[in-house]
Each structure stands twice: as structure tokens, then as C-alpha cells.
């Protein structure tokens, strides 16, 4: 044991309080059952103590064996059995009066609850008894089935030093190393596929020349997969294998005009056309072109590929595409369902029937009186008016940048110039989700704080006991017992806190992803607007110019943009 200079500054009452708190923690921590033999004038008494917390009780056979190993003469087996079964901490007379036999040095091996550590305690022999030897320690480890992670240097040190009552970690298990997930690297995702628009001189955004169609030829490599790994198993000190969590596997799904290599690790185009991706599925689609409007001349369109409409989609007509849709003019109260990107050069006008759904992003000049849902971004060149608009990622309104009326919802960000109107038109803007993650994080964080407080108390107690032994030469038996219990508890608390920290870090990453929502008004946000970010909401009662609304703690803060 080593001292700590900070202990010297403590008063006697402060030292006692630290020891009392440490003893209370130690007494309420997990402790295995134990026994004690007393040689009194009236005979030999056996006391069997029950376990505490999640500790393991002594079995009757173990009690009988210990009595025999202590060389108690004429022990009444019925009385020994009675004490072992009752296990109530009361002394039971088991043998007639006799002198206490010479005791050899003893070895105690105990396991942590998770069997990831084995603890060695050695006891000095009585007068004339045999000292603890390496062979005794190794035999004790074998009896406890400790076969993995044994520290030979600790065994040697314990046998050489012959320190009575000192507990040391004699074996340590190994944690499993989890495998890495499989990853698909899509080769057909240049920047052009995301359809980045450019702003024109007059402030409008040109969504016509997006060039988001990516043409491929037969034989082109479209995706390459790196395989998941199995990971490395861990072991307890008793040799039990702790399986590693294998990496999650994912498969490249070959869609139309795509084939996989023999090892299923490479996707290759078998035809020419437009490469599109939905999840892990990659397809090469031909493009169906409508030279004019989608109207009575064409009827509804249901196509397993991308669709280009040179005119408009008229009222009541429907376009369904397993790919992208491009409309050169407008969608006038029509219906569009596509799994990919939707581009509408002029705008989307609804009255009663307009329903627009895209698995990818939507690009258009304006949106009016429509219901729109996008799995990616929504990029608008002028305005969103009196519509219900939802995007999993981001909604950006450029040009005039007006959002007025209706409900606009984005997973990450809403970015506009003007939100609401001078007439205080009711306008709802929503971003960010998933309060359940925060509740789980809060509960685990509080539990970790409580364990950290216990660890701090245990650490102070260990330092104090180190100091007392250094200054007094040795510790009383009761203080030695406290030292053993608190040292063991300190090690277990440290392991538990480390595991909690890893879990909290994972939750924080997931929370951060769902709480990053924000609303940006580059011009002004008017009264009548309600902003919701995650679980927090705020009503706007005054004009705010060039602002960015973000969630800080439980509230929404209005910051300069």
C-alpha cells in the first residue's frame, strides 16, 4: 500500500466519515458466504455467514470440507450440517473442548460476479505452521477452475511476500472484440446524381440542368462489397468463451439489368441506361419518354424505370415509376409516385387530388396547395404555399424563398428566406424527432453518476487506509476487512462504469443525429409561425430577421443566422 499526501490534511472526524461511508458501501455490495471457527472453553463453535447482495452461499459440502481441513477433532456432523443449512450467522457448538491445532498458511481464491477477475488472498500460518507456497496457490486456482489469464508474477509475489490478508487480482479474463459490419461501396454515385442546383443571376434556381441521370454501359462495375468480419471471442478466467458479436452482413441486391459476381461481392451492369439505388438494391433502368402531356392521349403511366414528361401532368392523371420522374412543365393537380428523384421544372399546383410521393429528393420551382412527401431533400426555387410538405432530410426554398401557410416538416433542416406573412398566416415548421432515445440516455446517465459517486467514496477510503497503514505500521483486522471489500468493489465499479460510458456514447451519437434539426430564415420569420424541433415548440409573436432556430436543452433558441 502507498500513501497519499492529501490524506494528511484530513481531520480525524473526516477520516472516520470516509471509512463509515466506505464500510457502508462495502457491506451492501455483493459478498460470498463465509464461515468462522472459534475454540472456546466450552468447545469448538462454527458460525456460517450468509452471502450478501448477489454473492454465492457456501454449500454444506464445502463447510464440511473446511471443518475437516481445519483438523477439528470429534466434530459432530449433524451440528455442522445444521449450521451449514441455517446459515444465519449464529455460533453452533460442533465439537468438544480442544486446543486449536497448528494452522498452516491458507489461500482464498474468489471470483468476480462476471467471472472476469479472480482475487487471491493469502493468510499467514500459525506458530509452527507451514507457509503459503506456489503449489498451494496453484491448487486453489484449480479448485476454483481458474485456467485463463493467470498472472504468474502475482502468484510468485504472494508466495514470496507472505502478506496476510492482502487481496490481489490473480487472473483477468479478456473481453470479446466485435466484428466489423459489411460495407457496400457504390461506384455510380458521382456528385451529379444528387442533382445539385445552381442559382441564376435573377435569384431563381435552375432545376432544369441538374444532370442527375447517370448513364452506364454493360460491364461497368456499379458496387463493391467488403465482407463482415466475425470478431475475436473473449474468455472468463474459468475458460468460458464469450462470443464476439459478428459484424452485420448486408447483401448487394441486383435489380434490373444488373448481375452479381460469383462471390456476390461485385455488382455489374448488364445493360445500358440509368443506374439508380434504393437501399442496397442497384438497378439500371431505361427511360420512358412522354413527348407531350400526361393526359387523355396517354392515360396513366406505370413504368418500371425512369419517366421523362416533356409537357405537364394534367389534373387527375397518375404517373408511377420505379425510378426517377422528370416533368418539363408542371404537375397540375396530378399524382406522382416514384422510388427515385422527382424533378418538376416549373411547379406543382394542387386543388383536391394532388398527391406527390418520392423515395428520393424533389426539385421544383414552387409548391402550392399540395401534399408532398420525399425520402430525401426537397429543393424549391421560389415558394411553398399552403401545402403539407414532408422531407426526411432537408427542405430548402431559394429565390424569393417564401414558406407561408400549411405544414412543412423536415428531418434535418428547413431553410428559407421568409417564413409566414405579415398577415400572421398560420404556418407550421417542424424538424428533429425521437424523444425515446433521450429518455433512455437520461436514465443510464443518472445510474452512471450514482456508481461514480460510490467509486469516489471507495477510492477515498482506499487512500485513507493506505495512509493509516503507512503511518501506523499495520491496520486493525476490521480495517483490513474493509480494505479487501472496498478494493474489490472499486474494481467492479470501474468495469461497470466503463461499459455504461460506451453505451451512453452510442446513445448520444444516435440522439445527435435526431436532434440536429434546425430552421433557418435568411430574411424574416413572421408572427403566426409555430416552430417545432424534436419535442420542443415555440410560437413566433414578433418579426425576427436573419435567424436560425435550434433546440438547446428542452427549449428552442433563436440565434442569428
Do residues 548 and 560 touch, judged by C-beta distance below 8 A? yes
CB-based burial of residue 396 (10 Å sphere; 0-12 exposed, 13-18 middle, 19+ buried)? Answer: buried
Task: With a cut of 70, say whether residue 335 has pLDDT above it.
Answer: yes
Residue 35's pLDDT band, with cuts at 50, 70 and 90, is: confident
User: How do residues 520-544 score in pLDDT, each as one tens digit?
Assistant: 999 999 999 999 887 688 999 999 9
**pLDDT band, residue 190 (cuts 50/70/90):** very low
More confident residue, 235 or 131: 235
Give residue-wise pLDDT tens across range 395-439.
Answer: 999 999 999 999 998 878 999 999 999 999 999 998 875 434 555
Bridge partners of 35, per DSSP, are: 48
Distance CA 48, CA 69 (A): 16
Best CA proximity match to 490, nearest among 521, 524, 513, 462? 462
418: closest CA among 258, 536, 539, 527? 527
The answer to whether the predicted template modeling score (pTM) of the entire model surpasses 0.75 is no
| Contact (Cβ atoms closer than 8 angstroms) between residue 238 and residue 111 | yes
Closest alpha carbon to 293 in 264, 274, 314? 314
> Strands 427-431 and 529-533: what pairing?
parallel
- What is the rounded distance in angstroms from the CA atom of residue 340 to the CA atom of residue 322? 7
The residue written with cell numbers 401545402 in the block is 387
Residue pair 221/267 in contact (Cβ under 8 Å)? The answer is yes
Confirm if 356 and 342 have CB atoms less than 8 A apart: yes
User: What is the helix (H) or strand (E) element at residue 219, kind and residue range?
Assistant: none
Query: What is the per-residue pLDDT for 330?
Result: 95
Average pLDDT, the chain: 84
Q: Is 47 helix (H, G, I), strand (E, B) or coil?
A: strand
Residue 3's CB: how many other CB atoms inside 10 A?
A: 15
Q: By the 8 A CB rule, do 91 and 71 touch? A: no
> Grid coordinates standing for 449?
453518476
Which of the two residues, 440 and 380, has the higher pLDDT score? 380
Domain boundaries, the chain: 31-112+117-166, 183-282, 302-433+516-560, 435-514
Mean pLDDT, to the nearest integer, of 316-321? 87
User: Are 48 and 63 within 8 A, CB to CB?
Assistant: yes
Q: Decide: helix, strand or coil at residue 246.
A: coil
CB contact at 8 A, 252 and 223: yes
Name which residue leads in pLDDT, 509 or 347: 347
Residue 172 pLDDT greater than 90, yes or no: yes
Q: What is the pLDDT of residue 434?
A: 44
Instruction: Classify residue 209 by burial, with Cβ atoms within 10 Å: 0-12, 13-18, 19+.
Output: exposed
* Cβ 317 vs Cβ 354: under 8 Å: no
Tens of pLDDT, residue by residue over 264-301, are 999 999 987 777 788 888 888 778 788 889 888 878 88
What average pLDDT does range 89-117 have in this prediction? 87
Nine-digit cell string for 381: 426555387
* Contact status, residue 248 vs residue 183, Cβ threshold 8 Å: no
Q: What is the pLDDT of residue 207?
A: 43
**Burial (0-12, 13-18, 19+ Cβ within 10 Å), 288:** middle
Cβ neighbors of 176 (< 8 A, separation 6 or more) are: 231, 232, 233, 234, 242, 243, 244, 245
Rounded Cα distance between 84 and 87, Å, is 5
Amino acid at each position: 500500500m502507498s500513501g497519499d499526501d492529501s490524506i494528511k490534511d484530513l481531520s480525524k472526524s473526516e477520516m472516520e466519515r470516509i471509512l463509515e461511508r466506505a464500510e457502508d458501501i462495502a457491506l451492501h455490495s455483493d459478498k460470498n458466504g463465509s464461515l468462522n471457527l472459534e475454540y472456546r472453553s466450552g468447545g469448538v463453535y462454527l458460525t456460517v455467514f450468509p452471502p450478501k447482495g448477489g454473492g454465492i452461499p457456501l454449500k454444506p459440502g464445502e463447510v464440511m470440507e473446511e471443518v475437516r481441513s481445519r483438523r477439528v477433532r470429534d466434530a459432530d456432523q449433524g451440528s455442522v450440517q445444521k449450521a451449514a443449512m441455517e446459515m444465519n450467522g449464529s455460533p453452533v457448538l460442533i465439537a468438544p473442548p480442544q486446543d486449536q491445532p497448528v494452522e498452516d498458511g491458507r489461500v482464498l481464491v474468489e471470483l468476480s460476479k462476471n467471472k472476469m477477475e479472480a482475487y487471491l488472498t493469502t493468510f499467514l500460518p500459525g506458530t509452527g505452521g507451514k507457509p503459503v507456497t506456489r503449489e498451494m496457490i496453484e491448487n486453489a486456482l484449480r479448485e476454483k477452475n481458474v485456467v485463463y489469464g493467470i498472472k504468474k508474477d502475482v502468484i510468485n509475489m504472494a508466495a514470496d511476500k507472505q502478506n496476510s490478508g492482502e487481496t490481489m487480482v490473480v487472473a483477468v479474463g479478456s473481453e470479446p472484440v466485435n466484428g466489423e459490419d459489411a460495407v457496400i461501396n457504390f461506384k455510380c454515385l458521382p456528385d451529379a446524381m444528387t442533382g445539385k442546383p445552381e442559382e441564376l443571376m435573377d435569384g431563381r434556381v435552375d432545376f432544369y440542368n441538374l444532370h442527375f441521370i447517370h448513364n452506364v454501359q454493360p460491364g461497368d462495375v456499379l458496387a463493391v462489397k467488403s465482407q463482415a468480419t466475425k470478431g475475436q471471442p473473449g474468455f472468463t478466467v474459468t475458460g468460458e468463451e464469450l462470443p464476439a458479436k459478428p459484424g452485420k452482413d448486408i447483401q448487394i441486391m441486383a435489380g434490373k439489368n444488373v448481375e452479381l459476381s460469383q462471390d456476390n461481392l461485385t455488382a455489374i451492369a448488364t445493360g445500358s441506361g440509368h443506374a439508380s439505388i434504393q437501399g442496397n438494391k442497384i438497378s439500371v433502368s431505361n427511360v420512358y419518354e412522354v413527348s407531350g402531356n400526361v393526359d387523355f392521349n396517354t392515360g396513366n403511366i406505370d413504368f418500371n424505370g425512369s419517366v421523362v414528361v416533356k409537357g405537364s401532368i394534367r389534373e387527375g392523371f397518375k404517373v408511377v415509376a420505379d425510378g426517377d420522374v422528370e416533368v418539363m412543365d408542371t404537375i397540375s393537380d396530378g399524382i406522382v409516385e416514384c422510388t427515385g428523384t422527382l424533378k418538376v421544372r416549373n411547379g406543382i399546383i394542387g386543388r383536391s387530388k394532388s398527391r406527390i410521393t418520392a423515395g428520393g429528393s424533389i426539385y421544383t420551382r414552387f409548391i402550392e396547395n399540395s401534399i408532398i412527401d420525399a425520402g430525401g431533400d426537397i429543393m424549391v426555387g421560389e415558394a411553398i404555399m399552403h401545402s403539407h410538405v414532408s422531407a426526411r432530410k432537408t427542405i430548402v426554398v431559394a429565390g424569393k424563398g417564401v414558406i407561408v401557410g400549411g405544414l412543412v416538416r423536415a428531418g434535418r433542416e428547413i431553410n428559407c428566406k421568409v417564413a409566414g406573412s405579415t398577415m400572421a398566416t398560420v404556418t407550421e415548421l417542424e424538424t428533429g424527432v425521437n424523444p425515446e432515445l433521450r429518455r433512455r440516455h437520461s436514465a443510464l446517465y443518472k445510474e452512471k453518476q450514482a456508481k461514480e459517486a460510490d467509486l469516489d467514496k471507495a477510492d477515498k477510503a482506499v487512500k485513507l487506509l493506505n495512509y493509516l497503514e503507512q503511518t501506523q505500521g499495520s491496520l486493525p483486522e476490521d480495517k483490513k476487512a474493509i480494505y479487501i471489500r472496498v478494493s474489490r468493489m472499486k474494481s467492479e465499479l470501474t468495469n461497470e462504469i466503463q461499459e455504461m460510458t460506451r453505451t451512453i456514447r452510442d446513445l448520444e451519437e444516435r440522439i445527435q443525429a435526431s436532434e440536429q434539426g434546425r430552421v433557418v430564415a435568411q430574411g424574416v420569420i413572421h408572427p403566426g409561425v409555430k416552430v417545432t424541433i424534436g419535442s420542443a415548440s415555440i410560437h413566433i409573436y414578433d418579426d425576427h430577421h436573419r435567424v436560425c432556430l435550434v433546440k438547446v436543452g428542452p427549449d428552442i433558441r433563436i440565434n442569428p443566422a
